[in-house]
Amino acid sequence: MVSSFVIEYERTTGTPVVAVSCSKGGSSINLWLPGGAFLNDAIDRFQAASDWLGANGCTVRHAFMVWCQGETDAENGMSPAEYTTKLTSVMDAMICAGMETCYIVGIGRHRDDPDKFRPIAEAQIELCITYQHAALVSTKFADMAARGLMKDAFHYVQQAYNEVGAEAGANTAVHILGRNVD
């Protein structure tokens, strides 16, 4: 997903991307809260990359986070209100660390129970409407089960990740450039 995101973002904006991976598959939002190891690691990686780029004469035009997480919380029955509060605290911490925006890739559907993830997916969409530092850049995972692009109840085949990454990259570029993609 990240490679497709970077390719499409650069194709659309003409701006190269330095992507700093901080993913932790299957993790709950509870593991990403401020003061915790996952978020501290993400902030440390971001700051190390920013410092290195600055020390090597690179100008950072935009610093943003792409967030694709929430299936585990939906699976475990977390309420949308609790998820929203916790995700907002994660985004607030990243904004304080120097990020401009959090671009949300909405979660998909459980292959065998299509409505199970809906409350968290809807909470992500609503948060992007109400929180000034968040923008929804893809909901394409929601269609992957119907298209047969899941390899099990939770995970997608590579084609799905590529499609979502490309859409998210293009939409992030549109948001940053403030124009429509051709």
What is the average per-residue pLDDT within 1-19?
A: 94
Query: Count of CB atoms within 10 A of residue 179's CB?
Result: 10
**Per-residue confidence (pLDDT) for residue 180, from 0 to 100:** 52
Mean pLDDT over all residues of the chain? 94
**Residues near 91 by Cβ (< 8 Å), separated by ≥ 6?**
65, 67, 99, 102, 131, 133, 134
**Per-residue confidence (pLDDT) for residue 179, from 0 to 100:** 63
**Per-residue confidence (pLDDT) for residue 25, from 0 to 100:** 87
**Residues near 17 by Cβ (< 8 Å), separated by ≥ 6?**
6, 9, 10
- Superfamily (CATH H level) for 2-14+25-177: SGNH hydrolase (3.40.50.1110)
The ranges assigned to domains in the chain are: 2-14+25-177
pLDDT digits (tens, 9 = 90+) for 30-39: 999 999 999 9
What's this model's pTM, rounded to 2 decimal places? Answer: 0.93
Rounded Cα distance, 71 and 117, in Å: 7
Among 81, 178, 173, which Cα is nearest to 124's? 81
Percent with pLDDT over 70 in the chain: 98
pLDDT digits (tens, 9 = 90+) for 64-120: 999 999 999 999 999 999 999 999 999 999 999 999 999 999 999 887 888 999 999
